[in-house]
Amino acid sequence: MGKGDKKSKKGKIKKGSYGNSRPHKPGKAEQLHTAQKEAAATAE
């Protein structure tokens, strides 16, 4: 699984396509994680 693999994230980045391994928008879990990081940075 590398840049030549069309099904992997790295392969999709190289090819410029999207799919399950590289969605257009970040998932809910990523958004929540980012929000928690920002809240922690603001609290300090």
Mean pLDDT by 10 residues, the chain (44 residues): 85 90 76 78 74
Report the Cα 18 to chain-centroid distance in Å.
Answer: 11
Cα–Cα nearest to 37, from 29, 22, 21, 27: 29
Query: Can you give the pLDDT at residue 27?
Result: 65
Q: Where are the domains of the chain?
A: 9-43
- Amino acid at the residue 29: A
Determine the pLDDT at residue 44: 64
Cα 9 to Cα 16: distance, rounded to the nearest angstrom: 10
Q: What is the residue-wise DSSP string for 19-43?
A: BTTB-SS--HHHHHHHHHHHHHHHH
Quote the pLDDT of residue 34: 77
pTM for this structure? 0.47
Q: What is the pLDDT of residue 38?
A: 80
